[in-house]
Amino acid sequence: MTTDFKRRQITGRGIPVTGNDIDTDRIIPARYLKAVVFEGLGEHAFEDARKQNPEHPFNSPAYRGASVLVVGQNFGCGSSREHAPQALMRWGIRAIVGGSFGEIFAGNCVMLGMPCLRASQQDIEWLQREIGRSPQASITVDVEKQEVRLGDRAIKASMPDGPRNQLVNGTWDSTSVLLEAGAAIEATAGRLPYVKGF
């Protein structure tokens, strides 16, 4: 059996989380970082926000089983905790479309094979509205073509070339790729004055 690492297209139902600057503390509170494994984080995604707001989309049965998260600007800002994308992934999210992303968060998502694509504010609002209207509708996040399709409409959604290539080509599991450099790693280190002892 082979695992397919290629992430060219992700198709599934959507879930909208509105608002800007949603930080990783909000996605997963720090108390859930007191564990030596990532298992079980899914059920705690947005836990405090869900308790404080019964209307939170992660509480709604209509969005259960959704895999495409649609968010606002600067989603995932703040702490570098990988527990945030881990919690979303373990909840069932496979791709995120948003206005913009905290950079460490977006990098962590790539490490898990979960693309974060950026779309215009106008398109994000349209997407969130449409999902709210028909939560059962199927959405396709096309990483290769850099677009998101819903119904008969396709919106532009981009991500930087480097991580996009990693996802499309299935090379996002970076340890094996980095190891391929072999002795060039030691050679680079050996040229650095602080490694040589000045």
Partner 1 sequence: MARTLLDKVWEAHTVRTLPSGQTQLLIGLHLIHEVTTPQAFQMLKELKLKVRMPERTFGTLDHIIPTADQSRPYADPEAEEMAQHMYRNMKDFNLQLFDMSTGKQGIVHVIGPELGLTQPGMTIACGDSHTSTHGAVGAIAFGIGTTQVRDVLATQCLAMAKPKLRQVRVEGSLARGVYAKDVILWIINQLGVKGGVGYAYEYAGPVIERMTMEERLTVCNMSIEGGARCGYVNPDQTTIDYLRGKPYAPSGDAFERATRWWLGGVATEPGASFDDVKRIDGARIEPVVTWGINPEMSVGVSQSIPSPEAQPEAERPTFREALAHMGFQAGQPIKGAKIDVAFVGSCTNGRLSDLRIAAEIARKGKVAKHVRALIVPGSQQVAKAAETEGLHEIFQAAGFQWRKAGCSMCLGMNDDKLRGREMSASSSNRNFIGRQGSPTGRTLLMSPAMVAAAAIAGEVADVREILR
Determine the interface stretch with partner 1 among 14-22, 60-68, 128-136, 137-145 (rule: CB under 8 A).
Answer: 14-22
Residue type, 149: R
CB atoms under 10 Å from CB of 165, counted, come to 13
Residue type, 111: M
Q: Which residue from 8, 48, 60, 92 is in contact with partner 1, where contact means CB under 8 A?
A: 48
Residue with Cβ nearer partner 1 (13 or 26): 26
Q: Give yes or no for a contact between 119 and 127, defined as CB atoms under 8 angstroms apart.
A: yes
Structure tokens at 51: 């308790």
Does 158 sit near partner 1 (CB under 8 A)? no
| β-pair partners for 154 | 149
Determine the interface stretch with partner 1 among 3-11, 59-67, 96-104, 133-141 (rule: CB under 8 A).
Answer: 96-104
Q: Which residue from 13, 15, 82, 88 is in contact with partner 1, where contact means CB under 8 A?
A: 82
Does 112 sit near partner 1 (CB under 8 A)? yes
For the chain, report the end-to-end CA distance as a whole number of angstroms: 50
Does 134 sit near partner 1 (CB under 8 A)? no
Classify the phi-psi angles of 162: left when phi > 0, otherwise alpha if psi is within -120 to 50, otherwise beta.
alpha
Classify the phi-psi angles of 168: left when phi > 0, otherwise alpha if psi is within -120 to 50, otherwise beta.
alpha
Does 126 sit near partner 1 (CB under 8 A)? no
Does 44 sit near partner 1 (CB under 8 A)? no
Q: Which residue from 134, 136, 158, 171 is in contact with partner 1, where contact means CB under 8 A?
A: 171
Burial (CB < 10 A; 0-12, 13-18, 19+), residue 66, is buried
Structure tokens at 93: 């999210």
Does 170 sit near partner 1 (CB under 8 A)? no
Does 147 sit near partner 1 (CB under 8 A)? no
Residues that bind partner 1 (CB under 8 A): 18-21, 23, 25-26, 29-31, 33-38, 48-49, 51-52, 72-74, 77-82, 85, 100-104, 107-108, 111-112, 121, 160-163, 165-166, 169, 171, 174-175, 177-179, 181, 184-185, 188-189, 191-195, 197-198
